[in-house]
Amino acid sequence: MTKQHKNFPQPQEWKSSEVEHIKINSNFLRGTIEESLKDSITGALRPDDAQLLKFHGSYQQTDRDYDDERKQQKLEPLYSFLIRVRVPAGVTTSEQWVALDDLSIKYGNNTMKLTTRQAFQLHGVIKSNFRSTIQGMNAVLLDSIATAGDVNRNVMSTSNESLSPVVGEVAEFASRISNHLLPKTNAYHEIWLNKELLKNGEVEEEPIYGKTYLPRKFKVAIAVPPYNDIDVYSNDIGLIAIVDKGQLQGYNVLVGGGLGKTYGVQETYPRLGDLIGYVSKNNALQVVEEIVKVQRDYGNRENRKLSRLKYTVDRMGVEGFVNVLEDRLGFELEASKPFEFTSNGDVFGWKKAASGRWFLGLYIEHGRVKNTDSYQLKTALRELADLHICDFRLTGNQGLVLGNITEANKVVVQALFEKYKLIDAAKISGIRRHAIACVALNTCVMAFAESERYLPSLVVKVEALLDKYGLREDEILIRMTGCPNGCGRPFLGEIGLVGRASLGASFAGDRLNTLYKEMLSEIEILENLDPLFAQYSKERQKSEKFGDFIVRKNIVAPQKNIFILK
Ligand code: SRM
Ligand code: SF4
């Protein structure tokens, strides 16, 4: 069929949103960040620079616990910056861990946050320490380029090599995608690393993005079945590794996943990626790049609430999107290959990889690496990093895997684990093991409720209910966020809490949950869960997961599973 006869959408003309103007006038993401940094009158950057700063991997924030008090005292808010470190596939060395730990002590709030996208966040860095922090990261070959902003973000992939012999190769590909899609501007190096300015006459170009970059943030993740531990369906591009006889062959390709929605704006919604076909591993990078470019050319540049790839795909129609993509590629995607996911949480405990090295999946409550009076987690991990006997791999669920450990060093790691009485995931409840909470208060500017600081105490109460019905060991996905942006992927929780309670997502992460009840207090959450757990314990089928049970019993109407084009 020729182009004329196919459903072949054309790009639209958009009226540019304010952010589009900021990008185009920024001289490839420089803006006046340099001047903003020099201004010692305020702890903040100029508004346009704060917007551009995201492309450099940082968000301007205030300590929201003190906002009201400061306002009453007629003081400006306590400004500081979150710096997000790029870690494709979540893999870092001991040396890098040591450096970040030092930076968090010297310039941050003495915590490190392991995010739901396998990145590190340092919170609480003030303006005058910004450059030193980035330079400290650079000294150990880490950067924060493009961990935020309208570009491709940290690329995720399963990081626990004991799960499959292809994890290493897939992680390398994640790193290749991340590097390939980095903005090419020299701005980051000039501003933060005091690198040479471009000489007069030297022309800067963004061959993939162009001057206005993408219409909105963009996310890529790769899963290695049967583990969907990076929630592949919630990404703009999801790749599912297809393995035959232990060899990586290529990837099934998903497009148009994304979870954010805005309450009150009907046109916004969470969406799972559509399966559009299969590509061999040799052609996969080209497919990724072309999907990015279709979004660059077709995405909504007028209304940022509707500019993610998921809305572009729905506007063009999946078939129309794929027609444009294949036309640009010059070849067609093959029919997708069979695969099966069985879980989307982390795998904990010791496991040996095909290489003979050991990997230890550790439980880190909501990804916050910190010390408390009774639990010296940060000190323990620092002591381990100082030994340089393992690498540190962040998971997509705010967890950590200690990796590449020799037989001899396994004993050393285990001894340290015991010395600091680190939590053994096997000894905590199934629901706690997989609970995810986004950061929310006190740093997130978007939060209208607690999440990370509250979920642990709620889980204690939910555990008491589960105990009543003998369900303590059952792995149930509970996820909470402080707003509907979806950073803790709550719409993929078997129990999702975002002010409202939603139920019935699948344990494998391929079905969204459905709104169950709105505006529940803690007591109401528990009162609602109690009879559901009772019923589940009595009436579930063999190995039936909680989310599937809720749907089978028509407690909520099921969301449709993913759409398969070919
Ligand atoms: Fe997120 C914005 C934290 C993963 C959807 N997210 C934010 C900001 C930066 C708030 C802001 O714009 O000022 C939050 C900073 C809070 C803080 O103080 O740290 C924030 N998001 C996070 C992290 C740290 C949550 C965590 O507890 O781990 C995660 C960092 C990931 C990373 O390393 O890059 C994080 N955010 C996600 C995810 C999950 C994922 O990617 O797997 C989502 C849902 C998937 C998606 O993108 O659709 C997500 N964050 C959003 C959105 C909604 C986007 C949308 O399409 O509507 C926003 C708001 C926005 O972009 O306007 C947002
Ligand atoms: Fe902030 Fe909302 Fe994301 Fe939570 S879900 S970190 S409250 S933007």
What would the pLDDT profile of 396-406 be if each residue is shown by its tens digit?
A: 999 999 999 99
**Does residue 486 have its Cβ closer than 6 Å to ligand 1?**
yes
Report whether pLDDT(330) > 70: yes
- Enclosing H/E stretch for 251: strand 247-255
**pLDDT given at position 174:** 98
* List 378, 382, 487, 489, catalytic entry: 487
How many Å lie between the centroid of ligand 1 and the Cα of residue 260? 9
Q: Is 440 in the pocket of ligand 2 (CB under 6 A)?
A: yes
Confidence of residue 255 (pLDDT cuts 50, 70, 90): very high
* pLDDT for 5: 58
Q: Which domains does the chain have, with CATH numbers?
A: 18-329 (3.30.413.10), 349-429 (3.90.480.10), 431-552 (3.30.413.10)
pLDDT at 2 over 70: no
Alpha-carbon distance of 34 to 493, in angstroms, equals 42
Q: How confident is the model at residue 198 (pLDDT cuts 50, 70, 90)?
A: low
pLDDT digits (tens, 9 = 90+) for 80-91: 999 999 999 999
- Distance from C-alpha of 445 to C-alpha of 44, rounded to nearest angstrom: 14
Average pLDDT over residues 368-380: 98
pLDDT at res. 200: 66
pLDDT digits (tens, 9 = 90+) for 292-328: 999 999 999 999 999 999 999 999 999 999 999 999 9
Q: Is the pLDDT of residue 503 over 80?
A: yes
Give per-residue pLDDT as tens, 83-113.
Answer: 999 999 999 999 999 999 999 999 999 999 9
Q: What is the pLDDT of residue 499?
A: 84
**444 Cβ inside 6 Å of ligand 2:** yes
Q: Is 438 a catalytic residue?
A: yes
Catalytic pick among 216, 390, 410, 444: 444
> Residue 208 pLDDT more than 90?
yes
> To which residue do tokens 């330079």 refer?
135
Position 1 pLDDT exceeds 60? no
* Average pLDDT of the segment spanning 322-349: 96
Give me the mean pLDDT over the 140-159 stretch: 97
Task: Determine whether 390 is an active site residue.
Answer: no
Work out the mean pLDDT of the chain and round it to a whole number. Answer: 96
Nearest to 66, CA basis, from 446, 454, 441, 457:
441
| pLDDT of 128 over the 80 cut | yes
pLDDT score recorded for residue 560: 80
> ∠ CA 294-295-301 to the nearest 5 degrees?
130
Based on the residue annotation, tell me whether 472 is a catalytic residue of this protein: no
Query: What pLDDT, on a 0 to 100 scale, did the predictor assign at position 204?
Result: 83
Is the pTM value of this prediction over 0.85?
A: yes
| Distance from Cα 61 to the centre of ligand 1, integer Å | 14
For residues 63 and 67, what is the distance between their CA atoms, to the nearest angstrom? 6
